[in-house]
Homo-oligomer: A and B are copies of this chain.
Amino acid sequence: MQPQAQFLQRLLLRSKLTVEEQRAILSLQGTVQRVQAHRDIVSPGECVESACLVSRGLVARYDQMLNGRRQLTSFYIAGDACDLHSVVAPKVNWSITAICDATVLRVPHEQLRQLCLRHPHIALAFWRDGTVDASIFAKWIANVGAKQAKARIAHLFCEIGLRSEAAGLGSRTNFEFMATQSQVADATGLTPVHVNRVIQELRAGEPLSFRGGRVLIKNWETLLAVGEFSADYLMLSASPDRLPGVGGMDSGMSFASVPANQV
């Protein structure tokens, strides 16, 4: 599937868009960029001029401390835009890196701007998307700030599982997660050594296995409980949303899904 279609699919999870709006998104032009594992896509201080749509692989945003310690603040899987907010705030002060070999589509801001100004509902969909991001950030604060190691790690796996499923990349109990234990440590604010021990506990206590970039959750309910996980913050369940138009209803508009090849 082409990256634009992946991205559209993701937007449609939460936003209702007309056929015309969908076409506009599908017809975005960008340059495909392959990124090696551990290479940074964006670095602090940059003023970026394009946004990145992840089309393959795993990408993460992180902050680096002076002592070298790094803290991942979010993961982005295929279909996610790791950078969309850069349209309204192009100056970044964090890094985005490829966790494993990845492919991204770089879409110039110029085009996204046009989209936003021509199609207000697309701007709102982008904003909504950013809101989900923020909601995940907030949950991570709670995760890292107020939970024990085992719960943090369990929570992370639950999140990635559900997001992968929603993105059509697997099921919540069996999905690819190309991160090392060390990267999980960076995401959960723990050390690799301790992550290792906890993952062994989780393996022993049945709920999951994590090996070679694949997560297999044997007992979803247990893992939910261990991670104190509640899915609402991902905003996946609600039906896609759209603000009622100014003049009244959206009568006469079509919201059918546009097949990806129809561009």
Contact with B along A58-81 (1 / 0, CB 8 A): 000101011001110110000000
Choice from B94, B118, B134, B243 contacting A116 with Cβ under 8 Å: B243
Assembly CA distance A133 to B127 (angstroms): 12
Contact with B along A29-69 (1 / 0, CB 8 A): 00000000000000010000000000000000101011001
Nearest B residue to A89, CB-CB: B131
Choice from B66, B114, B144, B238 contacting A145 with Cβ under 8 Å: B144
Residues of B within 8 A of A116 (CB): 120, 123-124, 243
Q: Is A198 an interface residue (CB 8 A)?
A: no
Q: Quick one: which of A129-180 are within 8 Å of B by CB?
A: 130-135, 137-142, 144-147
Q: Quick one: which of A61-118 are within 8 Å of B by CB?
A: 61, 63, 65-66, 69-71, 73-74, 85, 87-89, 91, 93-94, 113-114, 116-118
Interface residue count for A (Cβ, 8 Å)?
Answer: 58
Residues of B within 8 A of A134 (CB): 85, 130, 133-134, 137
Determine how close the nearest CB of chain B comes to the CB of A113; give it in whole angstroms: 5
Q: Is A128 an interface residue (CB 8 A)?
A: yes
Choice from B71, B113, B130 contacting A146 with Cβ under 8 Å: B71
Assembly CA distance A89 to B138 (angstroms): 15
Assembly CA distance A189 to B140 (angstroms): 12
Q: A93-B232, A233-B93 are in contact. Are A142 and B63 (CB under 8 A)?
A: yes
Residues of B within 8 A of A89 (CB): 14, 128, 131-132, 135, 235, 241
Number of copies of this protein chain within its complex: 2
- Could you jot down 20 A-B contacts, CB within 8 Å? A65-B228, A71-B141, A73-B141, A85-B127, A88-B124, A88-B131, A89-B131, A91-B235, A91-B238, A93-B233, A114-B246, A120-B120, A127-B127, A130-B134, A134-B134, A137-B137, A137-B138, A144-B144, A145-B188, A146-B189
Residue numbers of A with Cβ under 8 A of B are 14, 44, 61, 63, 65-66, 69-71, 73-74, 85, 87-89, 91, 93-94, 113-114, 116-118, 120, 123-124, 126-128, 130-135, 137-142, 144-147, 188-189, 228, 230, 232-233, 235, 238, 241, 243-246
